[in-house]
Amino acid sequence: MENLNLILPEIFISLSIMFLLILGVFKNDSSKITFNLSLFAILITTIITFNETYSVTRETLFNESVVIDGMSSLMKILTLIGGFLVLVISSTYLKTFKIYNIEYPVLILSSILGMMVMISSNDLIVFYMGLELQSLALYVLATYNRDQLKSSEAGLKYFVLSALSSGLLLYGCSLVYGFSGSTNFDIISNQLNSEEYVLTFGIVFILVGLAFKISAVPFHMWAPDVYEGSPTTVTLFFTIVPKVAALTVFIRFLYVPFLNLIDQWQMIIVFLSIASMVFGAVAAIGQTNIKRLIAYSSIGHIGYTLAGLATASNEGIQSSIIYISIYVIMNLALFSCLLMLRRKDQYYEDIDDLSGLSKNHPLLSLCLLLILFSLAGIPPLAGFFAKFYVFKAVLEQSMYFLAIVGLLSTVVAAFYYLRIIKIMYFDKEKDKYDTDHSLWLKFSLTVSTILILLYFIFPSQLIEVVSRINII
């Protein structure tokens, strides 16, 4: 008998999804209670997962097709917290657009479930199942504001391109299976050797599929359109939660089944990383819509996390995980600010709408200032440390070119962050925005900004948690 306690979080969250669906069918006006119950469900799942972290070092289940280890627990917690905060700050936005329905929390829960399966997967089939579960939920979420043309367009684009990438991924998986005779990551790892040239195709297909999911250049084309078109809260979900899950899978693929083929994939990852960093920085300069700008900036940030992965060392993986954790906090804070730009039931999302914000809303613009400087990687804010660890890991492997290109692209990226600050602080003010934000929105902005600002006082804690993750 398998020890089902280990997948208790997944079991619990799937049961909650079913329960919520039934509740939605039988009870009228159940959106509010579904929201609250789903929050509760995430909270409990988080607690269960959190308990696991301390008791488990590395356990496998179901013929070693599911793995529970330090990395999976940490990334699951990150996913759950991200999902929780997204749900919690969504309600005002959804009510404004009259799409405050039961489907929203259920879809978010199902995509979280898919991601949790992905994060724990140690088998090609389990991985693909999780991936499709989360993708299907995300397609619907992207079109969630279906009365708006842009939202439907975003969902359709995302669906078509994502399906294509899933196809590539599946094709790669089948090639790998053909050469190794197994779908299990550990067995693949032992069977593979770099003699087989066709195997390289398999790896490339899988990497392309994964690169698409985390929107690394040159597979990023969907990101700006989808981010712009989707409802803002869904965009927030897109920019943080699936990235965490996809990054975990990326790490697992590179360092478990393909560990012996470093020569084959290292150059690919270095290329993806450099292309994302440079393209993300350059393309963001011309943007006028904040959500599009965030799309490009997140492409750049993914480039930095990939730089950590390219190192083929434990330090590199740890630095990537630190980077993505800090990135999640920064994006959460950034979107909390964006959701506060509301005037008479209308949300504003152009950069020019920020003009002179500092005169009308000094506190909000101070938070945004800190967040933007942190995203630009200026010390002593959290974003600097994220980059610092990554570049330390990169330089440890003597990859000077990668480090220097990365750091130079931070200078380019600093330009567009500065442009927003310039508009906020140096330009003429416009009308005031509403200030009656929900308590949760204020809470998430305050907490995340304080974390960003004061991270430098206690930088060791996060490192300690992450340093327990040793994949190689």
Partner 1 sequence: MNFPILSSLILLPTIGALFLFFIKEKEGNNTTIKYVALFTTIVNFLISIYLWIAFDQSTSSFQFIEDRTWIKGFINYKVGVDGISILFIILTTFITPLCIISVNNSIKNRLRDFLIAILIMESFMIGVFSALDLVVFYLFFEAGLIPMFLIIGIWGGARRVYSAFKFFLYTLLGSVLMLVAIISIYLITGTTDVVQLYEIGIDVKYQNLLWLAFFSSFAVKTPMWPVHTWLPDAHVEAPTAGSVLLAAILLKMAGYGFIRFSLGLFPVASEVFTPLIYTLSVIAIIFTSLIALMQEDMKKLIAYSSVAHMGFVTLGIFTLQQQGIEGSIIQMISHGLVSAALFLTVGVVYDRMHSRLISTYGGLVSVIPKYSILFMLFALASLGLPGTSGFIGEFLILMGAFKDNFLVAVIASIGVILGAAYMLWLYKRVVFGKLLNEDLKKILDLNRSEYFILSCLAAPILFFGFYPDPLINTIEVSVTDLINMHNTNIASK
Q: How near is the Cβ of 217 to partner 1 at its closest, in Å?
A: 21
Q: Give the angle 53-326-267 at the CA atoms, nearest 5°.
A: 95
Q: How near is the Cβ of 388 to partner 1 at its closest, in Å?
A: 8
356 binds partner 1 (CB under 8 A): no
Helices assigned H by DSSP within 340-361: 357-360
Q: How near is the Cβ of 387 to partner 1 at its closest, in Å?
A: 9
- Distance CA(248)–CA(240), nearest Å, equals 13
Of 94 and 403, nearer to partner 1 (C-beta) is 403
401 binds partner 1 (CB under 8 A): no
Q: Kindly tell me which residue out of 404, 450, 454, 472 binds partner 1, with binding defined by CB under 8 A.
A: 404
Of 258 and 416, nearer to partner 1 (C-beta) is 416
Q: How near is the Cβ of 293 to partner 1 at its closest, in Å?
A: 17
Of 64 and 459, nearer to partner 1 (C-beta) is 459
410 binds partner 1 (CB under 8 A): yes
282 binds partner 1 (CB under 8 A): no
Count the residues of the shown chain that bind partner 1, applying the rule CB under 8 A: 30
Of 346 and 460, nearer to partner 1 (C-beta) is 460
- Distance CA(319)–CA(467), nearest Å, equals 9
- Distance CA(61)–CA(442), nearest Å, equals 41
Q: Kindly tell me which residue out of 267, 411, 454, 472 binds partner 1, with binding defined by CB under 8 A.
A: 411
Nearest to 231 by CA among 430, 97, 51: 97
Q: Which stretch binds partner 1 (CB under 8 A): 96-104, 178-186, 258-266, 388-396?
A: 388-396
Written as six digits, the tokens of 154 are 């975003």
Cβ contacts of 307 within 8 Å, gap of 6 or more: 270, 273, 277, 320, 390, 391, 394, 402, 403, 406
Whether the CB-CB separation of 399 and 315 falls below 8 Å is answered with: no
Q: Kindly tell me which residue out of 288, 422, 450, 472 binds partner 1, with binding defined by CB under 8 A.
A: 422
Written as six digits, the tokens of 140 are 């619907």
Q: Kindly tell me which residue out of 97, 100, 388, 440 binds partner 1, with binding defined by CB under 8 A.
A: 388
Written as six digits, the tokens of 278 are 């440079």
Q: Kindly tell me which residue out of 139, 373, 416, 433 binds partner 1, with binding defined by CB under 8 A.
A: 373
Written as six digits, the tokens of 142 are 């992207």
360 binds partner 1 (CB under 8 A): no
Neighbours of 15 (CB within 10 A): 11
Q: Kindly tell me which residue out of 190, 343, 379, 470 binds partner 1, with binding defined by CB under 8 A.
A: 379
Q: Is 129 exposed, middle or buried (0-12, 13-18, 19+ CB in 10 A)?
A: middle
Whether the CB-CB separation of 306 and 251 falls below 8 Å is answered with: no
Q: Which stretch binds partner 1 (CB under 8 A): 201-209, 211-219, 285-293, 400-408?
A: 400-408
Cβ contacts of 454 within 8 Å, gap of 6 or more: none
Q: Kindly tell me which residue out of 40, 400, 434, 472 binds partner 1, with binding defined by CB under 8 A.
A: 400
Q: Kindly tell me which residue out of 360, 380, 440, 447 binds partner 1, with binding defined by CB under 8 A.
A: 380
Of 113 and 283, nearer to partner 1 (C-beta) is 283
Q: Is 155 exposed, middle or buried (0-12, 13-18, 19+ CB in 10 A)?
A: buried
Strand bridging mode 346-347 / 342-343? antiparallel
Task: Name the amino acid, one letter, at 43.
Answer: L
Whether the CB-CB separation of 355 and 430 falls below 8 Å is answered with: yes
Q: Which stretch binds partner 1 (CB under 8 A): 67-75, 163-171, 322-330, 458-466?
A: 458-466
Q: Which stretch binds partner 1 (CB under 8 A): 77-85, 199-207, 336-344, 379-387?
A: 379-387
Of 91 and 311, nearer to partner 1 (C-beta) is 311
Kind plus residue range of the DSSP H or E element containing 342:
strand 342-343
- Distance CA(238)–CA(104), nearest Å, equals 14
425 binds partner 1 (CB under 8 A): yes
Q: Which stretch binds partner 1 (CB under 8 A): 6-14, 49-57, 275-283, 457-465?
A: 457-465
Of 392 and 442, nearer to partner 1 (C-beta) is 392
Catalog residues that contact partner 1 under the rule CB under 8 A. 362, 373, 378-380, 384, 388, 391-392, 395-396, 400, 403-404, 407-408, 410-411, 414-415, 418, 421-422, 425-426, 456, 459-460, 463-464
